[in-house]
């Protein structure tokens, strides 16, 4: 499958690398047509990898991963172009974090989550919030925590898009999914990340995950 990864940070690089390893053709998009991170990532990732602008990548991808900073995601997706994203599944991995020197990052909680705002800005795109509630190494290798026995949360208005994301993430090793319903649930998923950050500081590891016990 042709897949777009928007964002050149550690998440874009890690998710993109996994997708290439699984045999997909992956285009990494950024606001800079030849971002140094993207150029280095392509050199390391191999023949299935390419880079370009947000718009180049979005046009290429049949499915899109939004791995940009949450505070910039709406701008990044506007650059990607509404037409290039229309009718496609967009996996929103982003979190709206505020950074202040000497303090733990905070989640910017607004009336609407980033996931909801993306869906509102791009009504023809099928937005699925997923993967934002864990570290990127766990996203691509769930077995590194509790032999993979934990839950992946997801939310989105389009049921078939969620099933498509589950199928793709199943190839990463995911087999437990909790569908929280419509994209409105993205607000709770983003808000949780402030607790994730506190757990990270307390546990001194990023290798942990949510496992819901009934």
Which residue's CB is nearer to ligand NAP, number 72 or number 191? 72
Number of Cβ atoms within 10 Å of the Cβ of 64: 28
Min separation Cβ 161 and ligand NAP, Å: 19
Which residue's CB is nearer to ligand NAP, number 108 or number 214? 108
Min separation Cβ 38 and ligand NAP, Å: 8
Distance separating the N- and C-terminal Cα atoms of the chain: 36
Which residue's CB is nearer to ligand NAP, number 87 or number 103? 103
Report d(CA 54, CA 81) in Å as an integer. Answer: 8
Helix axes 186-203, 114-121, angle to 10 degrees: 150
Which residue's CB is nearer to ligand NAP, number 75 or number 160? 75
Binding site for ligand NAP (CB under 6 A): 7-12, 30-32, 35, 67-70, 72, 75-76, 93-95, 97, 132, 135-136
Which residue's CB is nearer to ligand NAP, number 53 or number 125? 53
Min separation Cβ 141 and ligand NAP, Å: 12
Radius of gyration (C-alpha) of the chain in whole angstroms: 16
Q: Which residues have CB under 8 Å from 61's CB, separation 6+?
A: 2, 3, 4, 27, 88
Whether residue 17 contacts residue 75, with contact meaning beta carbons closer than 8 Å, is answered with: no
Q: How far is CA 134 from CA 31, 106, 139, in A?
A: 25, 15, 7
Min separation Cβ 114 and ligand NAP, Å: 8
Report d(CA 158, CA 128) in Å as an integer. Answer: 8
Beta bridge partners of 29: 6, 52
Whether residue 186 contacts residue 92, with contact meaning beta carbons closer than 8 Å, is answered with: yes
Which residue's CB is nearer to ligand NAP, number 67 or number 85? 67
Min separation Cβ 11 and ligand NAP, Å: 3
Chain residue at closest Cβ approach to ligand NAP: 9
Min separation Cβ 214 and ligand NAP, Å: 25
């Amino acid at each position: 499958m042709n897949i777009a990864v928007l964002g050149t940070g550690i998440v874009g690089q890690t998710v993109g690398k996994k997708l290439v390893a699984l045999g997909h053709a992956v285009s990494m998009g950024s606001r800079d047509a030849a971002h140094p991170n993207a150029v280095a990532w392509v050199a390391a990732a191999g023949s299935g990898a390419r880079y370009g602008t947000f718009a180049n990548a979005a046009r290429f991808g049949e499915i899109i991963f939004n791995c940009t900073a949450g505070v910039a995601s709406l701008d990044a997706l506007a650059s990607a172009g509404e037409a290039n994203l229309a009718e496609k599944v967009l996996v929103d991995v982003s979190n709206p974090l505020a950074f202040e020197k000497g303090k733990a990052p905070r989640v910017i909680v607004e009336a609407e989550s980033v996931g909801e705002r993306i869906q509102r800005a791009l009504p023809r795109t099928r937005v699925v919030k997923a993967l934002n509630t864990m570290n990127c190494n766990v996203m691509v290798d769930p077995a590194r925590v509790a032999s993979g026995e934990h839950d992946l949360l997801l939310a989105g208005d389009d049921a078939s898009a969620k099933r498509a994301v589950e199928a793709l993430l199943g190839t990463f090793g995911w087999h437990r999914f909790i569908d929280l319903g419509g994209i409105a649930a993205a607000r709770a998923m983003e808000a949780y990340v402030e607790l994730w950050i506190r757990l990270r500081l307390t546990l001194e590891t990023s290798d942990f995950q949510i496992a819901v016990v009934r």
